[in-house]
Structure 1
Amino acid sequence: MIDYLKESSFAVKEVIFDAWKVTRDNYVSIATLCFLIFITASTSTFMAFFMGELHVGIRIIMLLIFIMSYCVVELCLIKYIFRLLDHENAEITIIETLPTRLEIGRFLVGAIYFGLSIFLVGILLMPVLYILELILKFGVNQGIFNNYTQAGEIIVNISVGIAILSIFFTFIRIIFFPFFIIDKHVTSFESIKFSLATTKGNFIKLLFIFVGLVLVQAIVFGFFYIVVMTGFRLINFFFDYDINQYISLIVVVFSSFVIVPFTTAFFAVAYRKIMSEYDGDEHPDIIHNIV
């Protein structure tokens, strides 16, 4: 077990280093796609203030346009990073990495499967809630809890914790489905099955990788926040500005130009690492790869 944890720690360092390297060395070219992400995110944020006054049909159309735009840019970024990983010294244009209509369609359907998987996990947790209710009644009858309110609060907290862990586990197991659609050109359902198959037995390693990603992003965001706040404090010496009105813009800029590119590169590198170790079936099923 100790050797496995050491191997997992090494895998995290390797993934972080490779993701940082590909992002740093190619950030100028990646920045173009980041700008498109920024335009999409900022426009959707801006329109959110006015969409409440529009007709329902127009709001649905606008929402679909923003979702489609974000999907296209994100898939383009995934394909672009794959090209960078496979051809380090080659000149790659954004036009070459535009996703096809088939890939976009598969991604959208895969996203629906992704949501249904999370919903299914919630359904499967219903028996657990029933058992917790029985424990609630037993605890009150035996005097373990003073009343139903106290017991209810404890059991609600336990239920929420179980739900979060279950959803998080499901999220990690099927997070790679877009990469299979772009890299292996498989269907939406096949991408979910491949994600389950390749992540089987690697949950601890994936957990380490995910925690490593969160820590790196937290450190970068902390540094970014300190720099921005320092800049606004300096400006306040000469002008009276309220930073609160710029919070949403700061978050959108940071997410578009830092979080999204590095996270995409991070998961692309992790995907390639896991695929290099995968020796399973070329046509995996779901039942044998869930646990």
Structure 2
Amino acid sequence: MIDYLKESTFAVKDVIMQAWRVTRDNYFSIATLCFLIFITASTSTFMAFFMGDLNVGIRIIMLLIFVMSYCVVELCMIKYIFRLLDHENENDIKIIDTLPTRIEIGRFLVGTVYFGISIFFVVILLMPILYILDLILKFAVNQGLIDNFTFAGQIIVNIAVAIAMLSIFFTFIRIVFFPFFIIDKHSTPFESIKLSLATTKGNFIKLLFILAGLVLVQAIVFGFFYIVVLTGFRLVNYFFDYDINQYVSLIVVVFSSFVIVPFTTAFFAVAYRKIMSEYKGDEHPDIIHNLV
């Protein structure tokens, strides 16, 4: 077990360093896609304040446009980072050549629907647990073991929420690689879900370490970014009366678009490549044998 944890730790370091090198060495080319993400996120945030008064049909159309734009940019970034990983010595890789096809976009959207259905299915499976917890609570009250029914109910709800969050998180880890199979292997949406389940089987601890490393790096970078921006605003306040709170949303959007999204995409792309290099299973796996 200790050897496995050491191996997982080294895997996290390798993934973080390779993702950092890819992002750092090609950031100015990736920045073009980051700018498109920033425009999409900013426009959707800005329009959210005004779409409440619009017709329902117009709001649906605008929502579809924003979703489609984000999907195209995100898939393009995945494709571009794959090209960078596979052709490290080439300098003529063009973003225009990595635009996703209509088939890939359609498969990604359908796969996202499958992703949502999977999360919903997990929530449905948790309903018996909630029912059992409710029975336990009623039994404890009837036996006089619990006097405060409301407080006990809150505890049960908190436990149920914790179980639900852990289950959803576990499901997320198991099927998070489905977009990469669509781009890399040209898999169908359902096939990409099955491949993600198969390749992540038995790698939960390693993936947990990898995600923990990602969260830690992003927290450190965001803390540094926020301190620098906050310091800048305080220096400006010596000359002008500005309230930083009104710019918090803008700061978050800028940080997410130009730091979080590119590094996270590179991170998952590298993790995907590493896991696929170790995968020895079937090219067309089934779901039943890869759930646990």
- Shorter-chain TM range is over 0.9
Cα offset, 1:141, TM superposition: 2.2
* Structure 1 length-normalised TM: 0.99
Partners of 1:95 and 1:210 in 2: CA distance: 30
Cα offset, 1:74, TM superposition: 0.1
Partners of 2:141 and 2:203 in 1: CA distance: 41
Which position in structure 2 is the counterpart of 1:236? 237
User: Structure 1 residue runs of 4+, over 2 Å off?
Assistant: 141-144
Cα offset, 1:149, TM superposition: 1.0
Which position in structure 1 is the counterpart of 2:181? 180
Gaps of 5+ in 1: none
Which position in structure 2 is the counterpart of 1:40? 40
Partners of 1:150 and 1:229 in 2: CA distance: 41
Amino acid in the other structure paired with 1:212 = G
**Matched ranges for 1:68-217 at <5 A:** 68-90=68-90, 91-217=92-218
Which stretch of the first structure deviates more once superposed, 139-148 or 192-201? 139-148
Cα offset, 1:144, TM superposition: 2.5
Amino acid in the other structure paired with 1:196 = L
**Per-residue CA distance 1:132-162 (angstroms, 9 max, x = gap):** 0111012212332213212211110100000
Which position in structure 2 is the counterpart of 1:55? 55
* Structure 2 length-normalised TM: 0.99
Cα offset, 1:53, TM superposition: 1.2
Partners of 2:157 and 2:81 in 1: CA distance: 43
> Percent identity among equivalent residues?
85
Which position in structure 2 is the counterpart of 1:25? 25
Confirm or deny: 8 A CA contact 1:40 1:70 kept in the other structure.
yes
Partners of 1:264 and 1:144 in 2: CA distance: 51
Partners of 1:82 and 1:34 in 2: CA distance: 16
Gaps of 5+ in 2: none
Which position in structure 1 is the counterpart of 2:290? 289
Confirm or deny: 8 A CA contact 1:140 1:151 kept in the other structure.
no
Partners of 2:197 and 2:283 in 1: CA distance: 13
**Per-residue CA distance 1:203-238 (angstroms, 9 max, x = gap):** 000000001100000000000000000000000001
**Per-residue CA distance 1:65-122 (angstroms, 9 max, x = gap):** 0000000000000000000000012111111100000000000000000000000000
Amino acid in the other structure paired with 1:168 = F
Which position in structure 2 is the counterpart of 1:247? 248
Which stretch of the first structure deviates more once superposed, 244-253 or 222-231? 244-253
Partners of 1:2 and 1:34 in 2: CA distance: 40
Confirm or deny: 8 A CA contact 1:18 1:269 kept in the other structure.
yes
Partners of 2:145 and 2:159 in 1: CA distance: 16
